[in-house]
């Protein structure tokens, strides 16, 4: 099918997006102590006012009063810092504490708009972070990042920073590493795709991705490969006495191995998604509900190790950034059961059947390849129908404007 309908229906325009650049930082011992204060203050403010908002709702539920918002909690924070028992909050950057309140307000809005779960209390064991919205300075030549109340911290900018820096988030992982994430406002100029090809992709466990063109990208299974080593370290950790230095050393080894697995998976997903976007003008995939799929205890570990949801998320935003089209079809579309050539549907197909014989034409069908081809056919059909509707609407508007008005005389 020619790609004229895709080119007509999609106009490539400049877009402004928020893009994060994450770099490793190396604070000294004094700076680590100051960062610990900032982490603790931001965590305390978040948890304290989360409790305040929960209690306020419980007390005024019958009165149907509007709950606390960011401005209410901001005024309460100013009064809280004046109390003698909370004077230590003044040692932290005031803007960072305000950012913690904004994050809490965003979490509440996401919950009420059904975009996320109810906010949870932060723990010391989880990832520690605080945001600096202003008064920071990045010196790329000297490799230094100046943070209020902290001073200049050594930073390793391994790639150039684009756009305008809006805020900086300092974080500490459970393995003891420090990072600075620079949120930048970038104006993108999506180029025209170099390739005119279109593909449908089917995500699976046996093969991570099978394309409609027959390419198979095998799943690296990083967690499975490191599972035995992780089990040995966790057994060693369970034998150590709590609070001892040896337990701390083993705990760091466990955390670093988990971090290595996450970095390996992220590197694989980024490289795969970028290559697919660069090589194709349009990509079609099935809309998956990973949250419901991991409830199957037999496949939950394998599904989580694959990273399907993250791959689809990266394909979506990278297609916007680099001028490609990404579309998703309904999850209930029988992509595996329907034969792409003749349209016969195999109602008795099970998950164990990797190949099946079509009763309509007698051909032996590869399950994953057939699903990818069906996704491509259905995705192109939907895109063509959308473009046809837009063109018809545009012609109707033009014809209506071009009609001469009747003269009352």
| Residues identified as active-site | 202, 286, 368
Tokens of 189: 């100029």
> Residue 94: left if φ>0, alpha if ψ -120 to 50, beta else—which one?
alpha
Kindly tell me the number of DSSP H helices and DSSP E strands found in the chain.
Answer: 10, 14
> At residue 123, what are phi and psi to the nearest 5 degrees?
-125, 155
Residue 288's CB is within 10 A of a number of other CB atoms, namely 16
Q: Rounded to an integer, what distance in angstroms lies between the CA atom of residue 334 and that of residue 340?
A: 11
Q: Are 375 and 285 in contact (CB under 8 A)?
A: yes
The residue with tokens 């290559």 is 275
Strand partners, 4: none
One DSSP character per residue, 100-146 reads HHHHHHHHHHHHHTTSSPPP----TTS-EEEEE-SS-EEETTTTEEE
The DSSP annotation for 250-274 comes to HHHHHHHHHHHHHHHHHHHHHHHHH
d(CA 129, CA 316): 27
Can you point out the beta strands (E) in 49-162? 128-132, 137-139, 144-147, 151-156
Residue 155 to residue 147: CA distance in whole angstroms: 12
Rounded CA separation 292/76 (Å): 40
Asked if 281 contacts 196 with a C-beta cutoff of 8 angstroms, the reply is yes
The DSSP output letter for 87 is: G
Contact 363, 341 (CB under 8 A): yes
Phi, then psi, of 379 in degrees rounded to 5: -65, -45
Nearest-Å Rg of the Cα atoms of the chain is 27
């Amino acid at each position: 099918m020619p790609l004229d309908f895709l080119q007509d229906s999609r106009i490539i325009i400049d877009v402004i997006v928020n893009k994060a650049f994450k770099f490793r930082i190396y604070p000294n011992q004094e700076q680590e102590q100051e960062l610990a204060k900032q982490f603790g203050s931001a965590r305390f403010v978040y948890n304290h006012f989360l409790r305040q908002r929960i209690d306020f709702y419980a007390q005024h539920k019958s009165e149907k009063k509007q709950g606390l918002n960011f401005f209410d909690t901001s005024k309460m924070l100013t009064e809280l810092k004046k109390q003698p028992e909370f004077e230590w909050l003044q040692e932290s950057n005031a803007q960072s504490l305000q950012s913690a309140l904004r994050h809490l307000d965003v979490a509440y809005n996401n919950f009420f708009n059904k975009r996320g779960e109810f906010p949870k209390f932060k723990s010391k064991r989880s990832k520690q972070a605080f945001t600096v919205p202003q008064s920071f300075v990045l010196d790329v030549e000297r490799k230094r990042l100046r943070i209020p109340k902290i001073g200049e911290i050594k930073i390793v900018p391994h790639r150039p920073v684009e756009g305008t820096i809006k805020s900086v988030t300092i974080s500490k992982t459970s393995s003891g590493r420090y990072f600075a994430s620079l949120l930048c406002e970038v104006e993108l100029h999506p180029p025209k795709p170099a390739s005119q090809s279109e593909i449908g992709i089917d995500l699976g466990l046996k093969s991570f991705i099978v394309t409609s063109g027959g390419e198979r990208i095998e799943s690296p299974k990083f967690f499975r490969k490191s599972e035995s080593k992780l089990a040995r370290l966790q057994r060693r950790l369970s034998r150590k006495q709590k609070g001892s230095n040896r337990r701390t050393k083993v705990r760091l080894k466990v955390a670093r191995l988990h971090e290595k697995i996450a970095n390996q998976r992220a590197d694989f997903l980024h490289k795969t998604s970028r290559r697919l976007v660069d090589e194709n003008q349009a990509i079609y995939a099935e809309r998956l509900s990973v949250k419901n799929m991991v409830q199957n205890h037999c496949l939950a570990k394998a599904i989580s190790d694959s990273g399907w949801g993250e791959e689809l998320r990266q394909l979506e935003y990278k297609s916007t950034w680099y001028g490609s089209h990404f579309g998703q079809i309904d999850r209930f579309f029988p992509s595996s059961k329907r034969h792409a050539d003749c349209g016969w549907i195999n109602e008795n197909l099970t998950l164990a059947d990797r190949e099946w014989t079509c009763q309509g034409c007698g051909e032996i069908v590869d399950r994953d390849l057939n699903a990818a081809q069906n996704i491509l056919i259905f995705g192109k059909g939907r895109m063509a129908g959308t473009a046809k509707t837009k063109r018809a609407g545009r012609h109707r508007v033009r014809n209506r404007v071009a009609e001469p008005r009747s003269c009352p005389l």
